[in-house]
Structure 1
Amino acid sequence: MTTTPRVLGGRYEVGELIGRGGMADVHLGHDTRLGRQVAIKMLRSELARDANFLMRFRREAQSAAGLNHPAIVAIFDSGEDDSVVEGPGGSHTTLPYIVMEYVDGLTLRQKLSAHQQLDPSEAIWITEGILDALAYSHRMGIVHRDIKPANVMITSNGHVKVMDFGIARAIADTAATMTQTQSVVGTAQYLSPEQAQGQTVDARSDLYSTGCLLFELLAGRPPFQGDSPVAIAYQHVGETPQPPSVYNPAVGGDLDAVTLHALAKDREARYQDAESFSEDLENVRLGRPISAAALGAGIAVGAAATQTMPAPYSAAGTPTAVQPVITSRRQRYENTAGLPAVGHDLDEDDEKRGGAGRAVLISLLVLALLGLAGWGAVTLFSNQDPPVVTTTVPDLRGMDEAAVARALTTYKLQGERSEAPNELEAGKVFEQSPEPGLKVNEGSVVRYTVSTGPGSIAIPDIRNFDRKDAEQELKQAGFTNIAFEERDDPNTGKDKVIETDPVIGSSASKDTKITVVVASGKVQVPEGQVGRDWSLVSNELARAGLNPKRVDVESNETPGTVISVEKEGKRVDVGSEIKVEVATAPKVEPTTETVTQTVTQPPATTEPTTTTTTEPPGGGGNGN
């Protein structure tokens, strides 16, 4: 049996269910207009009547729609469908949806479930990708507030994608705490101390959550575990985590220190921005000294025995040998963890229980001895590096991009390209990481920078800047020929920058004409809506940045069909209210019936008489 595909907004066909979360379901979708595969995220029907979930879902669309970065899942469109779920009394419940980039890959949670712990170099690489996304979102004024493995995807070609801005807030929103009535918004294992206490959050809260995620990638478990979210939140506030090396001997001293610096309780004591966190991870990966602040954080808890990482870390995936201090550090943490001595919880009644109490005590001692023996075996065998296939990083400097592609293929490596001004001629590589000659795992990523030519300037990211601020930013960058043009855009405020020509991030000479496209604050009321269903028209108007207001009008047209749209085809201010006349069935007026009765008089009367009475429907006369 075949069924007609469900279509949202007259454009997006809803396909199979490919994911389910606590708030929404994600379906594979098809954009019939552009002919591309998309993912459609729909609020779960049972939550559609809850105002808090509706607000949170709509905020995700607003927050993520303004973010355009390769490490963030792109939002293409959003809307609401009010013809899906029957509500009380036969009314329809509105279900909002978000149309987003379809990502072919696995979530980081799925990857962890399959591998438990990741190789330190892979953990560093993934975390750097997350920090790249956060650095951008923070610059755009958005705090994610829910960084965790389930909200990070690794694509089939190895790229990192951050998603789900469902509880994101603007940095300027000082009232945005992490608590709601009787609940904590977020995931307990990754909450920052300020989130757990219901305080205001900022970008540094995301960095703490990223530190928790990095810890789990390295250790195979979050930094804190407990029987309930409240117990875990309490540990975030008051307990110091152990270094990841306690759970993974392949982790070296400086990586311990960087992770623990990100997990500082006081937000003033941890990394202050995503760039500095990422820079220290790069230092670890390349065997360079880490920052003094991170080094101090590690020394404070005995995590960093040396200042720099051993050289194998720079070999993208080769585990570092266990450092001699690991064993003593582990013992120190076990001895100072404040755990009760064996048998401490046995009360005086144990003496009366006799053999039962002794059996419990003996069992505990046996388990402890077995645990020590198992730990010793793990420590012994973890010193053996797993077999890896390595290759040598070629020298890409001076090559054009065609030559770079051939070299990376030959050495079985992947490339990640960027560009910047340089004295070298345009199109030539002038910088790369890792350095040439290093041994790395096959399939590792080599980042390289291509010159845009001498004297060129990178166009700064001025999206969402005011017209005046955008002009000042471009002039400070060195550009002298700046022009503006307006464009109708329902998703951008009046006089805010939409894009530039040449595009943001590209390079140009200082006298190149830079055309800045700003929002006009106007939109055109969509045409051709008469005769369509109200739900489709209301979604179309909402996507156009307008506020549709339904006006029911009696008509012989099919109920729910749009009869007219106010100001159709005209340009109006974004957010304008547009009256939409919608057909409803004509009312049926009550009617009066005429009842005629014939009454025969008794025989004494010479002639019969006929009496006519008029009564309302359903009434009965007495015949007289």
Structure 2
Amino acid sequence: MGEYMDQQVPTTIDERYEVGSVIGSGAMATVYEAVDTRLGRKVALKVLRAEHAQDAIFRARFQREAEAVAALNHHSIVGVYDTGAFEATAGSSTVSVPFMVMELVQGTTLRELLAQGAVTQSDAINYGVQILEALEYSHGAGIIHRDIKPANVMVLPQTPEDVSLGDPGQVKVMDFGIARAAEEAGETLTKANTVMGTARYISPEQARGETVDARSDVYSAACVIYEMLAGRSPFDAPTNVELAGKHLSEIPQPPSVFADNLPPALDHVVLKGLSKNTSDRYQSAAQFSADLKNAASGISAGGVDDDPTEATTVFAATGLGAVAAGATATGRNRETEEAGLGSFFDSAQAEYTDEELYGYGYGQDPETARKKRRRSAWGKALTTLLILLLAAFGIGSVLYYNAKLNEVEKHMIPAVQGMTQAEAETTLRNLNYTLKFEEEHSDEIEKGRVIKTSPVTGLEAEEGTEITVTVSSGPSMLTVPSNLEGQSEQYVREALAEAGFVAGRTTTVNSATVPNGMVVGVNPASDEMAPAESTVDIILSNGKVVVPGLVGLTRDQAIATLTGPDTLLSTNIENVTTASQPAGTVISQSAAAGTLIEQGSTVTIRVAVAPAPTVAPSAVTSTPSASTQPTTPATPTPSSQSEKPQEEADQPSAESSDAGDQ
């Protein structure tokens, strides 16, 4: 057993998985390299640690979460092939230890890449988008990860296609469901073995012990993306408790403070993902992913390009507004001053005498002076009104053109129903819409093609509006593939996946016709209707049949039973001369009834044969010749030539022998 002796893991689990060396170990489980002997492939075997396996509640929840995660099928999520449990010794007791069989991923963890400083800005965006796509898929399936961190993200080596496209390697997110099992089983933040390396990425609501949802994973993903961009975590502290406290109360600095040439739009997107209040945060991984991609292209979260002239425009508009406002204020001041002289109209006369007006130079004629005063008041009033109108016009023009400059262009949402997802995405992104994809079963629309959009086709929507595109995932009920009997397990698993099902656990049954390890059938059975993406279990042949009970049957009945369609065994017959059993009946069989033997084996049956009748010796006469001629005993009739010779030959009786000697 080598390195894994301390875990009490057997060399072979479930009569199928040959356990190899340890390839990873954490607070919750230990991971071994293993070989699936049935399918002939390498796998990763995750075994729950002994201290957790002793907790019955934790075991049950681990098993439940493992089975739920096994249904996830996404290119950025490590696949789970099988689940189960094995018996192991823990101290003086025996416990059932759960395990998961997973895809064996050859790559490097994101934690190791960060430690090496090997993540560029473009790689960070690419990895972040892939992580968020994996979370979007799992959240759609109702599964929250709860422990997103660099150690749970595996980066695969670049493929030739990645190199040609200039993309980094593919990302695989690991350990879905285990954090929830720990959380529900009573593991808390204060337990060091479950928080080590996790408090750095924990969401505020998770730190408070509240019920979490998809937005908690969004926060943790934002922490990871921040670290990839900035080269450091958003928060740092010597203890987990202090770290959790910072997540609860401290606002992180923008990542651009620690990284050169980081667009301001990225700061905005990442900090929004790190919002303390869930309602201020991105409400889905899809929204976060869309804004992250836009920000990397220099588009702000609102969908507007970061245009350096925008600030100038706003400033200019503000300046014009200030001038107009100043003009308005000046007009008002003049109005006030003129009102202090007695208003613009006739009432001004009451404030001054003719003599006083004469002193101002209006002449000696009081009537003339009065007319001049009225004309002067009207002129001032008209001038003030004109200034006010000009100011209002200027302000209106500034506001109008400022609104035009900031107006977001609108488009009519095109009809994309029936298009493939890629075609619809290209069409809508060309109109600068933000997209969110959902899947829905449809018996009319082909799988992978668009069913509808929200808002619907024909409505006008501004650029940057989020359009939800519903794509068909195929019919809700599918037919289980036929012609699976006698095929290999790998073939059947691929056939089920192609048909839209999830291959489940395997069981074995006796079979007289299907070779060992090949498929006898599936459940639900072939040609039956079952819900799309539901689990179909596989039934394999163990290559054995049950030996029927033959003793007491006639020879022909025994042969018919052994060669029947449920057994198909060969027969070997031995005749046994005996008077203790009825002639022609089976008195014993070489393999005991109820035992399992390999299909096609030979069973020997012993059939009772009656002893030959004894012939009385001839009477002794006085003729001398008669006394010298002994009587020959009757010879038993030989068995059929197709059968073996008798095992017990008849022997002449002592009486006959003596009579022959007389």
Computing the radius of gyration from Cα coordinates, the structure with the larger value is: 2
| Greater relative contact order (Cα < 8 A, sep 6+) | 1
When normalised by structure 2's length, the TM-score is: 0.46
When normalised by structure 1's length, the TM-score is: 0.49
